[in-house]
Amino acid sequence: MDYVRLGSTGLKVSRICLGMMSYGDPSWRAWVQGEDVADPIVREAVEAGVTFFDTADMYSVGVSEEITGRLLGKYFTNRDAYVLATKVFWPMGHGPNDAGLSRKHVTAALDASLRRLGTDHVDLYQIHRFDPQTPVEETMEALHDAVRAGKVRYLGASSMYAWQFATMQHVAREHGWTPFVSMQNHYNLAYREEEREMLPFCRATGVGVVPWSPLARGLLTRPRPADAAAARDVTVRAGSDAVADSMYTEADHAVVDAVEQVALARGVPMAQVGLAWLLSRPGVTAPIVGATKERHLTDALGALEVRLTDDEVAALEAPYVPHPVLGH
């Protein structure tokens, strides 16, 4: 396993981050797996040297955090041996203050996350989206106070416009508050709009990038199906993921074909090619990989050994078609 600094911080994380959204309560999403499925996958990740784990309070409405806390406690004897990340923003109840980035919700949500995770601190606390209804100053001061209280070590953000992220960073530095050190954004071979502004901004300011959906929610892991009906038969998630349906279209099939061709020529799974491309992008720290089968993790770990040639990169990037902004 390779370990790299998260942005310009001194914090080192594994080059692959295991995303824990896939583990929780199937009633939340049909493709979510229980703790019995998560256990051997987390064990394999730990044995392979993965030390970076990402979840969020809204995943299975807290159940993912509970499973994450139990399994990391089971396979690590030292709390400082791993980097634990979670998030705040999306609704966790039906009340008017059960969502967003107000001081009230951030404070309550963090305490609730810590209880579910079974720890006294989160290494990386991330805002899950930008909150246009809360003053930036209120959010950044509340997050800074969490750091000062010892409940949070570092702060991160997730998908938003670059100008929004820049504004939040400016407010933090203007007041002497803790800035964000990472950006968890939507970035993969089938969605590269982040290359326009967010990624250059992160590189210029020393912010680490930990992309979500690095394989386009499975789109880049299997050959293009012959028809729509065949696509629905591939996996439970492929047949029930409305988010993916809204993000990726037939225009992305040429990218899938390019990944397939490079994978066939190399004799490796398509997932390894898609992840190897992402790992080679400037500024990318660690893709967040979801795994509902052990082979998913095996493929992700294998991507660390794949070094694409310039010609392969050109072939993979050539079919890309610009998209409207997605995932914010």
Q: Which of 59, 154, 187, 320 is catalytic?
A: 59
Q: Confirm if 268 and 274 have CB atoms less than 8 A apart.
A: no
In this structure, what token pair is assigned to residue 85? 């990340």
User: Active site includes 59?
Assistant: yes
Burial class of residue 203 (count of CB atoms within 10 Å of its CB; 0-12, 13-18, 19+): middle
Q: How far apart are CA 112 and CA 199, in angstroms?
A: 32
Q: How far apart are CA 194 and CA 201, in angstroms?
A: 10
Q: Confirm if 31 and 22 have CB atoms less than 8 A apart.
A: yes
In degrees and rounded to multiples of 5, residue 124 shows phi and psi of: -135, 110
In degrees and rounded to multiples of 5, residue 223 shows phi and psi of: -60, 155
In this structure, what token pair is assigned to residue 270? 């398509």
Give me the active site residues, please: 59
